[in-house]
Structure formats: structure tokens, C-alpha cells
Amino acid sequence: MPFYVSPEQIMRDKADYARSRIARGRSCVALQYAGGILMVAPNPSTALHKISELYDRIAFAAGGRYNEYEALRKAGVTYADVTGYQFDRRDVTARALANWYAQTLGGIFTDSTKPYEVEIVVAEVGVKPDDDQIYRITFDGSVSDEPGFVAFGGQADQVAAALKERFHDDMTLTEALGAALEALAAPPAQGSGSGSGSGSAAGNGAQATELNAAHLEVAILDRARAHRTFRRLRGPRLEELLAESRAASAASAASAEAPEPASDAPAAQAAEATPPASDEPPTGPPSASGDGIPKP
Amino acid sequence: MSGHFDGGLGQAGAFMTARIPSFTHFLATHAPDLLPASLAGQLPAGGGDLIKDLPHATTIVAAACERGVVLAGDRRATAGNVISKRDVEKVFRSDEFSAMAIAGVASIGLEFARLFQVELEHYEKMEGRSLSLEGKANRLAKMVRDNLAPAMQGLAVIPLFAGYDEETGVGRIFSYDVAGGPWEEHRFHSIGSGSVFAKSSLKKLYSDDMPMTDAVLACVQALYDAADDDSATGGPDLPRKIFPVVTTITDDGYRRLPDPESEEYSDQVVQSRMRSPDGPRAPLRTGS
């Protein structure tokens, strides 16, 4: 390198880069319900997954750059399989996987010129709801334990805030899916929050469009199942659940107001095509030096 | 590549290298000591007696039936002339639509079954789809062949693989020898020390497109016949309530018959043998 650049500057640049790239994507959520853990991601592809199985009771969900989180997913599957084969299937835990991801992402963030543009969630379903675990790992290797629910990728702050209002313990699957969809479709928090960036409207506006079964990737870790608990919900089963949850939320919204910002949609599509113009980090995970948890 | 399981980026490097989605391939590259075949060349000469006295798993039968296939095994493990275990399990679920059973050195077989299970699941998770039934059978062949050197020194184990082919909708059976395979078997097959008797028995009892319940009964009869003539095969143990392990793989997936259900079949066979000790009689002349 021809010029001296301070380590602070390098780290800040890397973090800003990763954060702004991640904020351009779409948010995903993972949340607990009575029967297990539900994960929802807006994803038009049926073949390129954002949510996958890692092990018997553990799932992986990611937002950001596909090739990067796909490499991490495969590495996680291998890590889990080697551990489970060497010891016992019960000895593969979400905590160990989250730590492994944190080490790996932290190493990549420090050592390579370009950090990974990913945010990862590792969720494990326990025998009882109290044993459920959800970990979120950000691009710099920060890891946080998220009780109950987590939003990640894209405009995670706003989605998490919206999800917090709707989340409560012991939800049914239908309720949880309803809460997740409402949170994902939450309108951009205009003027509120930690910062104002041009990327804010781009990421979130895109989600304000109606999410239907064809554009959703939904999977659960089913507490009641033996052996492998991961199940994808798709096709007729998903349509049915969506219809149920819409009916339920329409009934509850009849008394309250019905937030349906359909007018945002055309502008959002235009905005989605163009990346954020400024180098200023858009609203996203608040700070790399912090714990990486959105503070709703 | 030592120390790649103890943290740091060396470990991440091993896990994150792009590679073919095979678990055994990963172990062979990065941790060969974890494979059963790692015994090759490490066994000292003259361990023959020791190996002979290891528990050996014995008779396995398989029969294709309507909508699937039945795979069953007796419960005895023998070490030389001693019965070392009465309740050993030799039939294992491989994945949702296949199962494998083992004959030979039981401990190696157990490790095989575990490894094969991880192998299939690993591919499924990595690629987002299951292997084809042939793919599974071929993969098992490679694993058997990798064990050739230990097998030559006495640690031989032979699997019998059965699965439901989702593409064609039929149950299929694959057999192996110590050098690999797979050999596809049609209708029915048997391996292990009592296989000669079991196969002869099945030959007389089997008919094409049997209903599954009939195929299960035929397999239990065949195991009884094997136990009748082979000292290393165990029959139904009524006093101890130990019955053959019977599994079915159909379009509904893998299912191991619960003990009470297996007991019913065994009871039926034992009761009929009270009246006719040699079992059902096949007609001497075929009709028409």
C-alpha cells in the first residue's frame, strides 16, 4: 500500500461497505412459536434458498450475498456432520455453530480486503420452548443471543421494531406467520430511528409490496418431530397458512387501522434497481463496534 | 492438515473449501483417521483368533413387495462358538427411503451404518435433494471397497441395501461383496451365515407383487428356517420377547415394525411350526 491508512479507517470502511451492501437486500425474520421456530424470508427463487437445515434441530437463515452465505451454510453443515459423527447427534449445538460462524466471519472481516456481506441466524429448537435458541451473527463476527425473535438483513431495525409489537409467547403457527409477514411489510419508519439514508426507502419499500406464497420462503423447526425437525412450508400448505393468517389479521385489523402502503410499490421498484447513491451507511444494524443487535 | 478441528482459520479453510458434496470424501481428505478403513495396514499379523472372536452379525433377508421392499434381520451376534449378543440390531435406517443391513464383524458394520447415514444426509443437506437410489447404492459400494484391506485381514463386513425408488415407484435390493458392487438383486435376497437356508426358504415362499404383510411373513419364515439350520442365526426368542427386526420401505418411507407387531408375525410363524415344524409346504407340481 502506497499510503498509510490507520487501522480505524480500514475497519470503518470495511464495516460501512458491508453494512450498506447488506441493507440493500431484504429483511428476514426468525421467531419462536408454541410448536417450534418459524423462519420467513422474501425470496422469489424456489431453488436458491435463504433458509436451510443445518442439523437435526438446527436451522440456518441468512441475508446478504448468496455465494458468500451459501459457502458458510455448506461449511456449517460439514462442521455439524463431522461433530455429530465423531461424538453423538445430540452433541451438535446451535451455540457451537454460532461460535464457529463468529470465529470464521470475524477472521474474514479482519484478514481479507473485502468483508463478507452477510448476516446469519442459527436457530435451534429445544424440547421445551425455554430451550429454544436463536443466534444472530453479523459480517464482522459479532454474535448475539436473541430471545424469542430476530430480524436480520436489509432494514432489520424497522422490521425488528414492527415484530416486537406483534410478538408474544406461545403464538400459534398462523399467528407467528401473520406477525412475521406484517413485520416484513412494515412501512419505512419515516424520520424516526438512528439515521436517514437513501437506502432506507429502497430496501423497505420493496417489502411493502404484498408478499404472496410465490415470493416467500418459509420453513419451520417443528418441536414435535423426532430426528430431523426442519420442514419447508410451500405449495398448498403455505397458501393455506397464508390465507388463515390473513383472515386472522384482517379480523383483528377491522377494529384497528389497516396498514397497506400500496402506493409505495412503483417507487420502490425503481429505487430497488439503483443502489444507494451516497457512501453514507444507510440505516441498518446500528454499529459494528457495538454488539450488532438492533435496538428497537 | 493436523489440528483442523481445534479452532482458528485452518479449520474454517478445511470446511469452506469447495468440494464434492460427499461426507466420506471430506473425511478422507481432512480427517482420514475417522474412517473405518483407516485400520488398513495397521493390523499386526497373527490376530486371527482375536478377530474370529469378535461379535459377528449373521442373517439378513430382503424381499421386494407391492409398493416397496421388506428388509429384516435376526437378533443374534456370535463370537466364535459363543452367542455374544441376543438382541443385536443389524438393520438400520439410511434415510427416508432406504435402509441397510449388515452381516460380518458387527462393530465395523455399526460404524458403516452410521457413516452411510451421515453420507446420505450430508448430500441431501448440501445439495437440497436426495441422491438417486443408484447413487446411494454406488456410494455404499465405494465404502465397502475402501474396507477391502481390513476385510482381507478378517474384519469383513457386507451390507445389504434396500430402498424405494421414488422415480419408478418400486422397491429395489442391492447386494455387495468385499470388493464392492453393487449387484442389483431381483425379487428377494439374503446375506450372512444363514443366507443359504433363508434364500431357499424365500424361493419357495415368494411370489411377485406380494402384499407387504405377506412379504413380511415370508421374511420371518425365512429367518426361522435359517435359525433352524444355522447355529449362528437366532430364531424368535419368545421367553425374552426378542423378535427379528423387520423394516419396510414403501412410498410412505422407512418404517421399523414396533416390537408388538413383529411379535405377532413371530407368534404366527411359531404357532404354525408347532403343527408343521418344517414350515409351509410348496406344491410339488406347478399348476396348469
pLDDT digits (tens, 9 = 90+) for A184-242: 987 665 444 443 333 333 444 444 456 788 889 999 999 998 889 999 998 889 999 99
The set of residues, in sequence order, having a beta carbon less than 8 Å from that of B86 and lying 6+ positions away, is B75, B76, B234, B237, B240, B242
Rounded to whole angstroms, how far apart are CA atoms A219 and A221?
7
Least confident piece of the model among A184-193, A234-243, B203-212, B219-228: A184-193
pLDDT digits (tens, 9 = 90+) for B126-168: 998 999 999 999 999 999 998 888 888 888 899 999 999 999 9
pLDDT digits (tens, 9 = 90+) for A13-67: 999 999 999 988 889 999 999 999 999 999 988 889 999 999 999 999 999 999 9
DSSP one-letter code for B215: H
Q: What is the mean pLDDT of chain B?
A: 89
What does the domain layout of chain A look like in residue ranges?
7-273
A52 and B CB contact within 8 Å = yes
Q: Which helix (H) or strand (E) holds B274?
A: helix B259-275
Q: Do residue B128 and residue A111 have CB atoms under 8 angstroms apart? A: no
Q: Which helix (H) or strand (E) holds B26?
A: helix B23-30
Contacting A residues, span 59-88, partner chain B, CB-CB under 8 Å: 71-72, 74-79, 81-82, 84-86
Rounded to whole angstroms, how far apart are CA atoms B138 and B181?
7
The CA distances from residue A190 to A200, A263, B113, B135, in Å, are 9, 15, 58, 55
Residue B90 has pLDDT above 90, yes or no: yes
Tell me the pTM. Answer: 0.83
Who wins on pLDDT, A68 or A280? A68
Minimal-distance CA residue of chain B relative to A83: B5
- pLDDT over 90 percentage in chain A: 60
For residue A135, give the amino acid letter. Y
Helix (H, G, I), strand (E, B) or coil at B50: helix
Q: pLDDT band for position B101 (50/70/90)?
A: very high
Which CATH code, of 3.40.50.2300, 3.60.20.10, 3.10.450.50, 3.40.50.970, is assigned to A7-273? 3.60.20.10
Residue B190 has pLDDT above 80, yes or no: yes
Contacting B residues, span 70-129, partner chain A, CB-CB under 8 Å: 114-115, 118, 121-122, 125-126, 128
B48-275 classified as CATH 3.60.20.10: yes
Rounded to whole angstroms, how far apart are CA atoms B202 and B199?
5
Q: Do residue A52 and residue B125 have CB atoms under 8 angstroms apart? A: yes
Check B17, B24, B58, B250 and give the catalytic one.
Answer: B58
CA-wise closest residue to B21 among A73, A57, A213, A101: A73
What does the domain layout of chain B look like in residue ranges?
48-275
Q: Do residue A82 and residue B5 have CB atoms under 8 angstroms apart? A: yes
B58 a catalytic residue:
yes
pLDDT digits (tens, 9 = 90+) for A141-182: 999 999 999 999 888 889 999 999 999 989 999 999 999 999
Give the full edge-to-edge strand order of the sheet including A149-152.
Answer: A149-152, A28-33, A36-42, A216-222, A230-233
Q: Do residue A75 and residue B23 have CB atoms under 8 angstroms apart? A: no
d(CA A121, nearest CA chain B) in Å: 17
Q: How many residues does chain B have?
A: 288
**Number of Cα atoms under 13 Å in the Cβ half of residue B131:** 22
